[in-house]
C-alpha cells in the first residue's frame, strides 16, 4: 500500500457484499441490522476509497458494475477471512485461563468455589513460576488472570487481594513439638526451617526471608528439591522442620504432623493479577467474586511483611 492510501473499511466491504447478494439496499440493511441510509453511506465511502462506481440502479434493484463484479469475489474473501479470524479469537476466549503457582495451593480452592457459582464459565488452569512468569504471560495475553504474591510497580496490570494462607509448621511425629496444639513464633527464634523449594528471586522466597528476619529464624534452602512426596518423606525422616500452608494439599505421610503457628500467625498473601486491557467476558465476574471474598487482615493476631499490609488492610 502506498503512503497516504486509505485502508478498506470492512464494514463498508460487508455492506457491498450484502447489497450485491440481496440486490436491494433495504434488504441489505435488514440483513446487516442497520439503516438503509447507513448502507448507502458505506457504499459511497467504499466507492470513494476505491475511486470506482460499484453499482448501477435498475428496475430490478442495484446491479454491480463491471468493476463491482470484479471486486465481489475479493470482497467475499475479505469478509470470510475476517469472520474466520473472529471465530478463532472467540474460540480462544472460550476458557478463562488462570495462572497459579501450584494446583495444591489455596487459590485453586477459590477458583473451584468461583466455578461452582459460575458453572457456565469454562476455566483452564495454567501453572508457572509465580509473579515473574505470570506477569509476562498477562502482558502477552497467554493467560487472563494469575494468583500470586505481587510487588513493585504493576504498570498496566491490576490486582485484587485474594487470599491469606495461615502458616503451619511441618515436623516429624517424634519431634519435641509434634504433640502441640500450636507453636508461638517466639519459640522458633534461633531455629532453622528447611524449605528446598524456595527459588532464589521468587516472591515466596522473599516472603520467607522477611519472615525469618522478623522472628530470628534461619531459612535453609539447600536441596535438591525432588518434589512434594520426597519433601514430606524427608521431613518425616527427621531431615528438618518446614513451613507449609494450612490448606495446602500435601501428600499424606504417617510420620509427619502439621502444627498451626500463632502469636502472631504468619499468613501468605495471594492477589488476583490481571491486565487492565483484558477483554475476556468472564474476567469481571472472577474479579467481582474475589473482591466479594476479600480476606480480612487482623494485625493483632496475624503477621504480614510491611510491603503486603497496605493491600490487605
Would you state the pLDDT for residue 40?
93
Q: Is the pLDDT of residue 119 over 80?
A: yes
Q: Is the pLDDT of residue 128 over 90?
A: no
- Kindly report the pTM of this predicted structure: 0.71
Q: 277 vs 122, 141, 156, CA distance in Å?
A: 20, 10, 8
Three-class DSSP category at 312: helix
Mean pLDDT of 144-151: 93
Look up residue 270 and give its three cell numbers.
495471594
Three-class DSSP category at 127: strand
Higher-scoring residue by pLDDT: 223, 192? 192
Q: Are strands 55-58 and 61-64 parallel, antiparallel or unpaired?
A: antiparallel
Least trusted range by pLDDT, from 15-24, 84-93, 200-209, 291-300: 84-93
CB atoms near residue 13 (< 10 Å): 20
Q: Are strands 256-262 and 157-172 parallel, antiparallel or unpaired?
A: antiparallel
Quote the Cα angle for 40-46-47, to 5°: 90
146 and 165 in contact (C-beta within 8 Å)?
no
C-alpha–C-alpha distance, residues 25 and 41, integer Å: 11
The percentage of the chain sitting over the pLDDT mark of 90, rounded to a whole number, equals: 71
Higher-scoring residue by pLDDT: 92, 267? 267
**List of residues 6+ apart from 245 with CB closer than 8 A:** 105, 106, 165, 166, 167, 168, 268
Mean pLDDT of 202-207: 95
Please state, rounded to an integer, the average pLDDT across all residues of the chain: 91
Fold of 95-163+269-297: D-Maltodextrin-Binding Protein; domain 2 (3.40.190)
Q: Is the pLDDT of residue 1 over 50?
A: no
Mean pLDDT of 257-269: 97
Would you state the pLDDT for residue 145?
96
In the structure, what pLDDT confidence band is assigned to residue 82 with cuts at 50, 70 and 90?
confident
Domains 95-163+269-297 and 166-266 share a fold: yes
C-alpha–C-alpha distance, residues 104 and 101, integer Å: 9
| CATH superfamily of the 166-266 domain | Periplasmic binding protein-like II (3.40.190.10)
143 and 98 in contact (C-beta within 8 Å)?
yes
Domain ranges in the chain?
Answer: 10-92, 95-163+269-297, 166-266
Look up residue 213 and give its three cell numbers.
528476619
**List of residues 6+ apart from 217 with CB closer than 8 A:** 188, 189, 190, 191, 192, 193, 211
Would you state the pLDDT for residue 5?
57
Of 227, 105, 125, 256, the C-alpha closest to 166 is: 105
List, for residues 39-70, the tens digit of each pLDDT value: 999 999 999 989 899 999 888 889 999 999 99
Look up residue 67 and give its three cell numbers.
468493476
* E strand segments, 90-182: 95-100, 122-127, 145-148, 157-172
**List of residues 6+ apart from 112 with CB closer than 8 A:** none
Residue owning grid cell 458505506:
42
Q: Is the pLDDT of residue 84 over 60?
A: yes
Domain 10-92 sits in CATH 1.10.10.10: yes
C-alpha–C-alpha distance, residues 120 and 148, integer Å: 25
Q: Is the pLDDT of residue 184 over 90?
A: yes
C-alpha–C-alpha distance, residues 144 and 283, integer Å: 7
Amino acid at each position: 500500500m502506498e503512503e497516504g492510501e486509505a485502508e478498506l473499511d470492512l464494514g463498508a466491504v460487508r455492506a457491498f457484499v450484502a447489497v450485491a447478494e440481496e440486490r436491494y439496499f433495504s434488504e441489505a440493511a435488514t440483513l446487516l441490522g442497520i439503516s438503509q441510509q447507513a448502507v448507502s453511506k458505506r457504499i459511497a465511502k467504499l466507492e470513494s476509497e476505491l475511486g470506482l462506481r460499484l453499482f448501477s440502479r435498475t428496475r430490478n434493484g442495484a446491479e454491480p458494475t463491471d468493476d463491482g463484479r470484479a471486486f465481489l469475489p475479493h470482497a467475499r474473501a475479505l469478509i470470510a477471512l475476517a469472520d474466520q479470524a473472529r471465530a478463532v479469537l472467540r474460540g480462544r476466549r472460550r476458557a478463562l485461563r488462570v495462572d497459579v503457582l501450584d494446583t495444591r495451593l489455596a487459590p485453586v480452592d477459590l477458583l473451584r468455589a468461583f466455578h461452582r457459582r459460575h458453572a457456565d464459565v469454562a476455566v483452564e488452569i495454567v501453572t508457572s513460576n509465580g509473579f515473574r512468569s505470570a506477569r509476562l504471560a498477562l502482558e502477552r495475553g497467554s493467560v487472563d488472570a494469575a494468583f500470586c504474591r505481587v510487588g513493585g510497580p504493576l504498570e498496566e496490570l491490576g490486582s485484587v487481594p485474594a487470599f491469606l494462607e495461615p502458616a503451619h509448621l511441618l515436623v516429624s511425629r517424634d519431634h519435641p513439638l509434634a504433640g502441640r496444639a500450636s507453636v508461638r513464633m517466639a519459640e522458633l527464634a534461633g531455629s532453622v526451617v528447611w524449605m528446598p523449594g524456595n527459588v532464589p528471586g521468587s516472591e515466596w522466597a522473599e516472603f520467607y526471608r522477611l519472615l525469618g528476619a522478623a522472628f530470628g529464624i534461619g531459612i535453609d534452602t539447600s536441596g535438591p528439591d525432588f518434589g512434594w512426596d520426597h519433601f514430606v518423606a524427608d521431613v518425616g525422616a527427621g531431615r528438618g522442620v518446614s513451613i507449609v500452608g494450612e490448606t495446602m494439599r500435601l501428600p499424606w505421610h504417617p510420620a509427619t504432623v502439621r502444627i498451626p503457628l500463632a502469636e502472631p500467625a504468619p499468613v501468605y498473601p495471594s492477589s488476583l493479577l490481571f491486565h487492565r486491557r483484558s477483554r475476556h467476558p468472564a474476567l469481571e465476574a472472577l474479579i467481582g467474586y474475589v473482591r466479594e471474598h476479600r480476606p480480612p487482615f487482623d494485625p493483632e493476631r496475624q503477621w504480614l511483611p510491611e510491603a503486603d499490609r497496605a493491600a490487605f488492610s
